[in-house]
């Protein structure tokens, strides 16, 4: 499984994913504003209601990240440009979540002396979830199988194995506040190569069964080449199968939103297509 730290549009759009010391702004109707490296990233959102994960989401892979807190002394607080003294009944602390090369950096925030609860919003924790969310390349299967030529006029099947077609999610928690970022695969796009028009189908496609007669099998995920691949680079069509993911989030207090409704993650495939030869017999 290969993570897309640089290629995933959702992650690339927010750069290094280091949270500054600013706090998230209040959500307006129809939008949420997570802070990312000092920049407000506006995403579609809802508040007041959260349906939680679907049955398909629960079947997917999940990861959990727990944020930790370190109290800040007066010198460090002033060095960060924060007001000293903190408000009555509170203290400054550094929150660290979701470590790793694409994780979030420390964030300064206020923590209640009485309860230990941080003043953090689910929208701020979304950034930590994005930092470790693993949206993989899903390697497609084809029939005829890759490495074996198909034939002009006969459909080339493509699909993603059912065991790989599931959601990936990360939950980040800070005290009682939490946010879950989930990527769900939605559809496939087959780009035949050579400038030919693509084919889109919902879901992972249907696996071809070599032990079942071809006439008894059907799929909506196929492409029929009308010309052989001779003359193409390396004698193959330079095709690709793109998985489209829907990336969204939910959080404590009923918050949530759609971060990317159509995150495209392509995988390249080289397909050979031969000209079918007529069989001539004589008596």
The count of domains in the chain is 1
Q: What is the pLDDT at residue 32? A: 44
- Contact between 122 and 181 under an 8 Å Cβ cutoff? The reply is no
- Residue range of the domain that includes 60: 9-274
In a domain, 3, yes or no: no
| Residue-wise burial string across 167-193, b where 16 or more C-beta atoms lie within 10 A, e elsewhere | bbbbbbbbbebbbbbbbbbebbbbbbb
Q: What is the pLDDT at residue 283? A: 54
In a domain, 245, yes or no: yes
In a domain, 17, yes or no: yes
In a domain, 118, yes or no: yes
In a domain, 90, yes or no: yes
Main-chain dihedrals φ then ψ at residue 162, nearest 5 degrees: -60, -30
In a domain, 84, yes or no: yes
In a domain, 1, yes or no: no
Q: What is the pLDDT at residue 49? A: 32
Q: What is the pLDDT at residue 50? A: 33
In a domain, 279, yes or no: no
Q: What is the pLDDT at residue 99? A: 52
Q: What is the pTM of this model?
A: 0.72
Block means of pLDDT (10 residues each) for the chain, 283 residues, are 33 28 31 42 37 41 78 86 88 72 65 82 81 82 92 94 90 87 94 95 93 89 95 94 92 86 90 75 52
Q: What is the pLDDT at residue 93? A: 85
Q: Give the start-end residues of each E strand in the chain.
A: 31-32, 35-36, 39-40, 43-46, 61-66, 68-71, 90-96, 107-112, 141-143, 150-151, 155-159, 168-174, 177-191, 199-202, 222-224, 237-251, 256-271, 273-274
């Amino acid at each position: 499984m290969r993570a897309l730290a640089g290629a995933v549009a959702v992650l690339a759009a927010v750069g290094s994913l280091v949270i500054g010391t600013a706090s998230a702004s209040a959500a307006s109707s129809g939008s949420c504003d997570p802070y990312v490296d000092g920049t407000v990233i506006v995403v579609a959102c809802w508040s007041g209601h959260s349906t939680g994960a679907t049955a398909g989401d629960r079947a997917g892979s999940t990861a959990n990240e727990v944020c930790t807190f370190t109290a800040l002394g007066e010198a460090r607080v002033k060095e960060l440009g924060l007001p000293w003294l903190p408000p009555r009944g509170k203290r400054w602390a550094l929150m660290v979540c979701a470590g790793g090369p694409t994780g979030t950096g420390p964030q300064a925030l206020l923590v209640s002396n009485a309860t230990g609860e941080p003043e953090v919003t689910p929208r701020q924790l979304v950034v930590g979830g994005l930092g470790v969310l693993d949206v993989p390349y899903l390697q497609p299967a084809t029939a005829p199988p890759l490495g074996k030529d198909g034939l002009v006029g006969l459909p080339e099947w493509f699909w993603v194995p059912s065991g790989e077609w599931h959601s990936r999610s990360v939950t980040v928690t800070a005290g009682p506040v939490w946010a879950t970022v989930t990527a769900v695969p939605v559809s496939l796009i087959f780009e035949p190569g050579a400038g030919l028009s693509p084919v889109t189908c919902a879901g992972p496609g249907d696996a071809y069964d070599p032990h079942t007669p071809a006439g008894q099998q059907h799929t909506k995920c196929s492409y029929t080449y009308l010309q052989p691949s001779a003359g193409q680079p390396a004698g193959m069509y330079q095709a690709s199968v793109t998985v489209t993911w829907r990336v969204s989030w939910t959080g404590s207090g009923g918050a949530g939103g759609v971060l990317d409704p159509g995150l495209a993650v392509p995988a390249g495939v080289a397909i050979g297509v031969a000209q079918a030869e007529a069989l001539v017999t004589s008596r």
